[in-house]
Amino acid sequence: MTEEFHRIRRLPPYVFASVNQAKAAARARGEDIIDLGMGNPDTPTPPHIVAKLIETVNDPRSHRYSVSKGIPGLRKAVAGYYERRFNVTLNPEKEVIVTLGSKEGLANLASAITSPGDTILVPNPSYPIHQFGFIIAGASVRSIPATPDEDMLRALDRAVRHSVPKPTALIVNFPSNPTAYLADLDFYKELVAFARRENIWILSDLAYAEIYFGDKVPPSILAVPGARDIAVEFTSLSKTYSMAGWRVGFAAGNERLISALTRIKSYLDYGAFTPIQVAAVTALNGPQDCVADLRNIYRERRDVLIRGLHAAGWDVPSPEGSMFAWAPIPEPFRAMGSVAFSKLLLEEAGVAVAPGLGFGEYGDDHVRIGLVENPHRLRQALRSIKGFLSAHGISAPVLPSSAKKPESAAP
* Average pLDDT, 10 consecutive residues per value, the chain (411 residues): 78 79 88 91 95 96 93 97 97 97 93 93 95 92 94 94 93 96 96 96 97 95 97 96 95 97 93 96 96 96 96 95 96 94 95 94 96 96 96 74 45 36
Q: Give the model's pLDDT for residue 4.
A: 78
CA–CA dist 343, 351 (Å, integer) = 9
β-strands 366-370, 324-328 pairing: antiparallel
DSSP 300-343: HHHHHHHHHHHHTT---PPPSBSSEEEEEPPGGGGGGHHHHHHH
CA–CA dist 195, 166 (Å, integer) = 12
Closest CA to 378 of 367, 370, 368: 370
CA–CA dist 110, 106 (Å, integer) = 6
Closest CA to 409 of 143, 212, 113: 143
DSSP 123: E
Omega cis (within 30) before 165: yes
The pTM assigned to this predicted structure is 0.91
β-strands 249-253, 351-352 pairing: unpaired
Q: Give the model's pLDDT for residue 12.
A: 77
CA–CA dist 203, 122 (Å, integer) = 10
Omega cis (within 30) before 72: no
Give the DSSP H/E element, type plus range, for residue 261. helix 255-268
Q: Give the model's pLDDT for residue 57.
A: 97
Distance from the Cα of residue 90 to its chain's centroid: 23
CA dihedral 102, 107, 112, 114 (to 10 degrees): 130
Q: Give the model's pLDDT for residue 257.
A: 97
Specify the amino acid at residue 344.
L
Cα-flanking dihedrals φ and ψ of residue 252, to 5°? -145, 150
Q: Give the model's pLDDT for residue 158.
A: 94
Q: Give the model's pLDDT for residue 89.
A: 97
Residue 100 DSSP SS3? coil
CA–CA dist 154, 401 (Å, integer) = 27
Please list the residues that pair with 34 across neighbouring strands. 351
Q: Give the model's pLDDT for residue 335.
A: 94
